[in-house]
Amino acid sequence: MFSPDTINRFESAQTPFYYYDLQLLKQTLNACSEAAGKYGFQVHYAMKANFNQRILEIIKDAGLGADCVSGNEVNKAIETGFSPDKVVFAGVGKSDREITEALNHEIFCFNAESVQELEVINTLAAKLGKRARIALRINPNVDAHTHHNITTGLEENKFGINQWELPACAEVLSRSANLWLEGIHFHVGSQITDLNVFKSLCIKVNEIKAWFEERGFNLNSLNVGGGLGIDYYQPDENAIVDFTKYFEIFNQFLERKQAQTVHFELGRALVAQCGNLISRVLYVKKGIKKNFLILDAGMTELMRPALYQAYHKIENITGRHNASRPVIKYDVVGPICESTDCFGKEVELAESERGDLIAIRSAGAYGEVMASGYNLRDRVVSLYSE
């Protein structure tokens, strides 16, 4: 929660802004590294979740690698100081320029998503006289039991190589002198809170791993992606996810040889809870059926509710309100000219008025990075607690 001093600081700041609790970020990273370190697991930060420079630097200092999904992310990771041999590069549509730049950076591994991509990487690597390390991103057809729009591991999704294409991959790999099969890669979806999903994933990985090993391919690494969900409903009570339980599942169910390294690509679980979108009430509109709280932040600053009907806890944090205020239900909306520009419907809040500060919680992942300039809005700024 926010201390009175923090709220005083907010009072004099220009809203809206992202507020990042860097202490919480560091504690989260420690908890993750400790739990992963127990089994020698290697964690790459999925920087698509938040590539704010301060955040990236703290994550780099904590010793994590980087999981990138564009050439610009690869470049930014390396400029920030992530070691190239800890950088992985995924994405269904890597351009020739992006592949070439990543080859020049000598990154750890390309997570290749199609047979055609393998051929292209081989050709580009040959031009540079290099050998590209490849992890095949395989679609395991495992249901992540999460929001439809953030599921990636089903055959209906565009991601990864389907299992019936594995013989074709094996054939390309065998005859491509500029490719080196490093391992296999999976990612089934995001905001996964049912940990059984990861158990099912392990079982699938074991099967596919065996398929390759039976055919004489030696796999150095197994990359199981990210997707660990957080508690959007109780951000204070569960500020740090249970990394111990998460990594234990992989230790228990993933079959691996001693020399095989296991890699993770966590985004949300590392950064979501340290970020909050702080906004001010511009207007209160009382209706017959509904009351609207109109904020100075909208879907241009935090897109998740508009895009996925995602829940974020909303709080009125203005200090001057005491507990005696009646609780009222509001539809909390932004100023953008779209009906989906709504942060929550029928949200119970202490009776609110123009000028009150509103915190939208758990917004550190897929918040600031998905901001847009729609309606020619100002770029959202950030504040930090050290």
Task: State the Cα–Cα distance between residues 307 and 301, nearest whole angstrom.
Answer: 12
Closest CA to 229 of 198, 186, 262: 198
Nearer to ligand LLP, 180 or 308 (CB): 308
Q: Least distance to ligand LLP from the beta carbon of 163, Å?
A: 18
Extended beta strands in 186-238, E state = 221-223
Q: Using CB under 6 A, pick the residue from 25, 29, 32, 46 that binds ligand LLP.
A: 46
- By CB under 6 A, residue 268 contacts ligand LLP: yes
- By CB under 6 A, residue 49 contacts ligand LLP: yes
Mask for 180-209, x = binds ligand LLP (CB under 6 A):
-------x--xx------------------
151 CB neighbour count, 10 Å cutoff: 21
Nearer to ligand LLP, 225 or 344 (CB): 225
Please identify, among the stretches 122-130, 208-216, 264-272, 282-290, the one whose residues bind ligand LLP according to the rule CB under 6 A.
264-272
DSSP 3-state of 46: strand
- By CB under 6 A, residue 150 contacts ligand LLP: yes
Query: With contact defined as beta carbons under 8 Å apart, do 140 and 154 qualify?
Result: no
Closest CA to 359 of 124, 20, 26: 20
Q: Least distance to ligand LLP from the beta carbon of 11, Å?
A: 29
Nearer to ligand LLP, 266 or 359 (CB): 266
Task: State the Cα–Cα distance between residues 168 and 189, nearest whole angstrom.
Answer: 25
Mask for 52-91, x = binds ligand LLP (CB under 6 A):
---------------x----------------------x-
Residue 39: half-sphere exposure toward Cβ, Cα within 13 Å: 26
**How many residues bind to ligand LLP according to rule CB under 6 A?**
22
The one-letter amino acid code at 312 reads H
- By CB under 6 A, residue 360 contacts ligand LLP: no
Q: Using CB under 6 A, pick the residue from 226, 235, 305, 344 that binds ligand LLP.
A: 226
Nearer to ligand LLP, 6 or 157 (CB): 157
DSSP secondary structure of 115-154:
HHHHHHHHHHHHHHT--EEEEEEB-------S-GGGB-SS
Q: Least distance to ligand LLP from the beta carbon of 139, Å?
A: 11
Task: State the Cα–Cα distance between residues 93 and 81, nearest whole angstrom.
Answer: 25
Q: Least distance to ligand LLP from the beta carbon of 214, Å?
A: 26
Task: State the Cα–Cα distance between residues 19 and 383, nearest whole angstrom.
Answer: 5
In the complex, which residues of this chain contact ligand LLP (CB under 6 A)? 46, 49, 67, 90, 150, 152, 187, 190-191, 225-228, 265-269, 304, 308, 365-366
